Amino acid sequence: MKRRDVIKKGLIGAGSVAAATTIGTPALAEDRITWRMVTTWPKNFPGLGVGAQRLADRITAMSNGRLTVQVYAAGELVPPLGAFDAVIEGSAEMSHGAAYYWQNKSRATSFFTGVPYGMTSRELAAWVRYMGGQEIWDEIYAQFGVKGFLSGDTGTQAGGWFREEINSLDDIQGLKFRTPGLGGQVWEKLGASVVNLAGGEIYQALQSGALDAAEFVGPYNDLALGFYQIAKNYYMPSFIEPGLATEAVVSKSKFEALPRDLQQIVEFACQAEYDQVASDFYANDPIALRTLVEQHGVQVKNFPEEVLQAGAEAAKEVLGELRDSDDALVRKTTESYFEALALLRTRTEQVDGAFLTARQKYFQM
């Protein structure tokens, strides 16, 4: 072989190695990140638990595995109501739950889940995404080193399961009732003895008599949890949770350390899941309710007007206390929320409400 050919072949070979090295280096050097997501929901729980898993799968798939999220159901890594603290303390990078579970840390958290006589889920999303709600939420959660995103939407929830009928305010006095958040404070003002329990703990408490009544979400979830086996009086709708949202919480430092594209994947996956969960509940709630009524003898009822009116007055008291809070951030959140609600409800009531009234009255197929 001529010397010139040897040199030529050597250069080609060297070039091929260099090209292969150049092409292969990013893949070899690219960091692969794994996050642990702890949840407040039982494993594979309809709507909520499934939504948490689907969110994790979305993030993993959209990032092509660069950010893999592993899900731990309630109790697998931490207790269900310990999920938020797990992110704060660093034993998990991410959690999935409901913001009002953490109102002991800041009463402002409840505004990002469900407020008595407050926003519907569409109104809540509008406030958070377009009217300054997310920025205030970021400010609240920055105190704890975390960041929150809306991650699921159950819509307006059911009012709850009661062993005995509720015919007046007298029937509420001393009632042992599971219900969280600001709504729990409203029921306390109505005379109930309120406790908060994770979803997976409610059935046993009802069965043992530790609870006289409980609310969780709505027919889709409540059927799966079997509450109908103990209580047959099912009240609709909830006046304390008109548009409940779940949240995904991430470690602020871990989130900010992500490349910009992975940050956007987390954010947009949460937005997609907020809407996906809403459709899941809207499709399956009426099916589950029909099963509860036709197969399990559940009696669907409305709260008496006396209770609804007293609930509204109690809600004004609870929310008025927040507006006058010594905590400047709680006051700021309350003012922003109700400024947005005053505007958004005009659209809901004048357009959606008027249409629904007309459809109910004039259109049957």
Lowest-pLDDT choice from 14-28, 165-179, 345-359: 14-28
| Residue 197 confidence class, pLDDT cut points 50, 70, 90 | very high
Contacts of residue 85, Cβ cutoff 8 Å, sequence gap at least 6: 78
For position 4, what pLDDT does the model report? Answer: 44
Is pLDDT at 15 greater than 70 in this prediction? Answer: no
For position 1, what pLDDT does the model report? Answer: 46
Q: Are strands 94-97 and 244-251 parallel, antiparallel or unpaired?
A: antiparallel
Q: Which two tokens stand for residue 341?
A: 């609600």
pTM of the prediction? Answer: 0.89
Domain 28-152+244-282 identical in fold to domain 160-242+284-362 = yes
Query: Per-residue pLDDT tens for 51-99?
Result: 999 999 999 999 999 999 999 999 999 999 999 999 999 999 999 999 9
Is pLDDT at 201 greater than 50 in this prediction? Answer: yes
Contacts of residue 285, Cβ cutoff 8 Å, sequence gap at least 6: 155, 218, 219, 220
Contacts of residue 156, Cβ cutoff 8 Å, sequence gap at least 6: 120, 121, 237, 238, 241, 242, 243, 244
Write out the CATH class of domain 28-152+244-282.
Answer: alpha beta
Averaged pLDDT score across all residues of the chain: 92
Query: Per-residue pLDDT tens for 119-174?
Result: 999 999 999 999 999 999 999 999 999 999 999 999 999 999 999 999 999 999 99
For position 30, what pLDDT does the model report? Answer: 61
For position 315, what pLDDT does the model report? Answer: 98
Query: Per-residue pLDDT tens for 258-314?
Result: 999 999 999 999 999 999 999 999 999 999 999 999 999 999 999 999 999 999 999
Sorted by where each begins, the domain ranges of the chain are 28-152+244-282, 160-242+284-362
DSSP string, 9-27: HHHHHHHHHHHHHHHHHHH
**pLDDT over 90 for what percent of the chain?**
92
For position 261, what pLDDT does the model report? Answer: 98
Is pLDDT at 13 greater than 80 in this prediction? Answer: no
* Strand ranges, E, within 50-157: 67-72, 94-97, 146-155
CATH fold of the domain at 160-242+284-362:
D-Maltodextrin-Binding Protein; domain 2 (3.40.190)
Helices and strands (DSSP H and E) totals, the chain = 13, 11
For position 86, what pLDDT does the model report? Answer: 98
For position 177, what pLDDT does the model report? Answer: 98
From CA 109, how far away is CA 93, in angstroms rounded? Answer: 19
Residue 191's φ and ψ, nearest 5 degrees, are: 115, 0
| Residue 31 confidence class, pLDDT cut points 50, 70, 90 | confident
Query: Residue 188 belongs to what H/E stretch?
Result: helix 181-190
Query: Per-residue pLDDT tens for 92-127?
Result: 999 999 999 999 999 999 999 999 999 999 999 999
Average pLDDT over residues 324-344: 97
